[in-house]
Amino acid sequence: MLQYVVKRILLFIPTIFFISLIMFFILNVLPGDATTMSGGLKRQLDEQTTANMRKQLGLDQPLHIRYFKYMKGIVKGDFGKSYLRNESVNLLISERIMPTLQISLAAILIAVGIGIPLGFISALKQGSWIDTLSMVTAVSGVSIPQFWLGLILMYVFSLVLNWLPPQGYGDGGFMHMIMPSVTLGVGYMALIARTTRAAVIEVLNEDFVRTARAKGISELAVNYRHVFKNTLILILTTVGLQFGSLVGQTVIVEKLFSWPGIGSLLVDSIFQRDIPVTQGCVLVIIGVFLIVNLVIDLLYVVIDPRIKYTESNR
């Protein structure tokens, strides 16, 4: 087991290396660089200044040398220095990661806390109005674009009702978190509800559920001990895989609500061609994704006794 975990963590290294390689070259062949972007749209810096800046940032060196330098830093845990902000990427990210984790976790809580019960009830009451209603909600949840949902929420709860602050981080307080988290969580919740429903319907047809019913135990015990536990693996897999796209979606939501997280930092850095920041953000997001999926793979072992990560059966 421990061996497996160590092996998985070691496998992170080539994954991250490979991604950084692709990303580095793509970002560096994009038209324009930090020097041309730093002037803004109207103002064009003169030739001499840009040349100086390029030299200062090391942009005049060949690509492979820059990549090599960059990787040398990464190995030491140094993501480099922002081209435009005069701050280390490490510091920028460490300031921005908490707000992102805050709304991501809140979104997961919303998604899991509402999605799983909703899907479960739908499956048990298949074909009833509850089922229809919750599945319509789920389909809408998946299809509604976040920027639209966010704007509507802002309009209703801030402008019309004046209940919630429309934008910003405040001091990271609960009220400021509500709208970004909900916007982020709705699609995720809908997806989990649908997955849960499908998984429960599948498990309900299993022979062992019939056996459980034949034992004369309460319907609640049948549903919890026999149905729910057997759907958990499938639900967890969805939760894990979708977590990746959730972090991707923070880009939109954070920008919309001026939420000072990794997502908005990432967007800004792309527009400014602040390549070290872009790369740092992406690598951190990937790291989180890898860790979350490792944790979920390890949870499988806790849930399902048939799954074992030992050398003998691999």
Partner 1 sequence: MDILKINHLKTQFHGLDGTAHAVNDVSLTMKKGDILGVVGESGSGKSVTALSVMGLIKPPGEIVSGEILFDGTDLRNLSEKEMRKIRGNRISMIFQEPMTSLNPLLRIRDQIGEMVMEHQNLSKKESYNYCVEMLEKVQIPHPEKRAKDYPHQMSGGMRQRVMIAMALSCNPEILIADEPTTALDVTIQAQVIDLMLNLKEQYETGILMITHDLGVIAEIAKQVVVMYAGQVVEKGDVFEIFDNPKHPYTSSLLKSIPKLGRRTQSSRPRLEEIKGVVPDLFTVRKYCDFFRRCPDATDECSKKRPALVNINSNSAVRCLKYEG
Stretch that binds partner 1, among 107-115, 116-124, 255-263, 299-307 (CB under 8 A): 299-307
* Minimum distance of partner 1 from residue 198's CB (angstroms): 18
Asked if 305 is part of the footprint of partner 1 (rule: CB under 8 A), the reply reads yes
Can you tell me the distance from the alpha carbon of 201 to that of 130, in angstroms, rounded to the nearest whole number?
A: 15
- Give the residue, chosen from 20, 35, 195, 230, that forms a contact with partner 1 under the rule CB under 8 A: 230
Tell me whether residue 91 or residue 221 sits nearer to partner 1 (CB atom). Answer: 221
Helices (H), the chain: 2-29, 34-37, 47-57, 63-75, 89-124, 129-143, 146-153, 174-204, 207-214, 219-221, 229-256, 262-271, 275-303
- Give the residue, chosen from 105, 156, 225, 271, that forms a contact with partner 1 under the rule CB under 8 A: 225
* Minimum distance of partner 1 from residue 209's CB (angstroms): 8
x/- binding map, residues 246-285, to partner 1, per CB under 8 A? ----------------------------------------
* Minimum distance of partner 1 from residue 126's CB (angstroms): 9
Tell me whether residue 87 or residue 206 sits nearer to partner 1 (CB atom). Answer: 206
* Minimum distance of partner 1 from residue 195's CB (angstroms): 18
Tell me whether residue 159 or residue 302 sits nearer to partner 1 (CB atom). Answer: 302
Cα end-to-end span (Å), the chain: 12
**What are the Cα distances from residue 158, in Å, to 110, 143, 162, 250, 257?**
21, 24, 4, 21, 12
Helices (H), 205-228: 207-214, 219-221
Can you tell me the distance from the alpha carbon of 10 to that of 264, in angstroms, rounded to the nearest whole number?
A: 30
Asked if 308 is part of the footprint of partner 1 (rule: CB under 8 A), the reply reads no
Residues 194-223 that bind partner 1 (CB under 8 A): 206-208, 210-219, 221
Q: Which residue has the tokens 């990746």?
A: 244
What DSSP state is assigned to residue 81?
B
Rule CB under 8 A: which residues touch partner 1? 206-208, 210-219, 221, 225-226, 229-230, 303-306
